[in-house]
Amino acid sequence: MNVLSLFDGISCAMVAINRCNITIKEYFASEIDKNAIAISHKNYPNIKRLGCVKSIKTNLLPPIDLLIFGSPCQDLSIAKKGRKGLSGDRSGLFWDAVKILKEIKPKYFIMENVASMKISDRDIITKELGVKPILFDASLVSAQSRKRYFWTNIPFSLPEDKNILLKDILLPADQISDILWVKETRDIYIPEGQSTANIRVGRDIQRRINNKGIRADNDKTITPIRRIEVRDDDKCGTLTSVLKDNQIVNIKDKRIRKIDPIECERLQGLPDNYTSGISYTHRYKALGNAFNVDVITHILKQIC
């Protein structure tokens, strides 16, 4: 296959294609983030790099068999205040991808984006691509809860849950860097009967909560504490481009730490140390912006 990956990031599409044993003639990648490119180049130095999606000249490309892209989600995600949707500067790059899709007419295409987008934006994408989206939660194939819409002309059905849990991908405590352990632990609330936990996604973090875990914002006698609700025998919250509280893991004895980049790689279906060689901050960003490889692999297996 000749493959064109737009907004290629760290080339998770290449990992999935290789995992499916699909032979690649040429893999063309459009990406502008220098740290993502550095990770991609370390793992796949022979990728043909095209730069910004706006500068791609499709008439210079060979026939493309597979077009895959996840256009930027920042203006679509519910996490963005005042989101502008498909008219935003970043998510508006969707229109450049659609233009390329219509020009190259690939045999197969896959588009991924956040499930929290407005219905109106979802319907516009559906109209432009001519296929209905399928909601695929990566929790079915990994230890991460990550709901995404997929628009594709590759017929597929959702897999059964593989029951991979957070505890299945955690590193031993003695392999965790000292810089990831949180020093202050006196403000942790753990519901009775729980000894290990993953911080809940959410807006209760840093609010005043009483000893029963109930909000008490107006009670000045309540000490601000963290609320921990999801155990490590459950799924991890969605990885984001910034390591937020929902990616902090409590191991035992009320010790908490940030999740390690290797654990993030495992949550995204990548090999250990795939993103090594750059700072932790840039690794977290690159991983939070990435495809879940196991999800893409499941879809591509339908054409193997």
In 3D space, the residue among 26, 124, 15 whose CA is nearest the CA of residue 71 turns out to be 124
Radius of gyration of the chain (CA): 20
d(CA 155, CA 170): 34
67: three-class secondary structure by DSSP: strand
The DSSP element (H or E) to which 85 belongs, if any, is: none
Domain limits at 98?
Answer: 2-158+291-303
- What pLDDT tens digit does each residue of the chain (304 aa) get? 999 999 999 999 999 999 999 999 999 999 999 999 999 999 999 999 999 999 999 999 999 999 999 876 555 555 545 555 565 555 568 888 999 999 999 999 999 988 888 888 889 889 999 999 999 999 999 999 999 999 999 999 999 999 999 889 999 888 888 888 765 444 444 444 444 444 443 333 334 444 444 444 444 443 434 444 445 677 888 888 776 545 666 655 556 678 899 999 999 999 999 999 999 999 999 999 999 999 999 999 999 8
Q: Is residue 72 in some structural domain?
A: yes
d(CA 263, CA 255): 17
**β-bridge mates for residue 110, sequence order:** 68, 152
CB 8 within 8 A of CB 40: yes
Predicted local confidence at residue 194, as pLDDT:
44
Q: Is residue 52 in some structural domain?
A: yes
DSSP class of residue 117 equals S
The count of structural domains within the chain is 1
Starting at the earlier edge strand, list the strands of the sheet with 256-258: 188-189, 226-230, 197-199, 248-250, 256-258
d(CA 134, CA 120): 16
Residue 20 bears catalytic tag: no
Q: Is residue 279 in some structural domain?
A: no
**The tokens 């991983």 sit on which residue?**
287
DSSP class of residue 54 equals G
Q: Is residue 214 in some structural domain?
A: no
Q: What is the CATH number of the domain that holds 77?
A: 3.40.50.150
d(CA 238, CA 267): 9
Q: Is residue 9 in some structural domain?
A: yes
Q: Is residue 6 in some structural domain?
A: yes
**Residue 211 neighbours by CB distance under 10 Å:** 11
Predicted local confidence at residue 258, as pLDDT:
80
Catalytic residue among 73, 236, 264, 304: 73
d(CA 30, CA 61): 13
pTM given for the model: 0.82
197: three-class secondary structure by DSSP: strand
Q: Is residue 282 in some structural domain?
A: no
Predicted local confidence at residue 177, as pLDDT:
85
Q: Is residue 151 in some structural domain?
A: yes
Distances (CA, A) of 80 to 84, 118, 122, 244, 283: 9, 12, 16, 15, 22
d(CA 61, CA 67): 12
In 3D space, the residue among 12, 46, 3, 2 whose CA is nearest the CA of residue 287 turns out to be 12
Tokens encoding 217: 């914002």
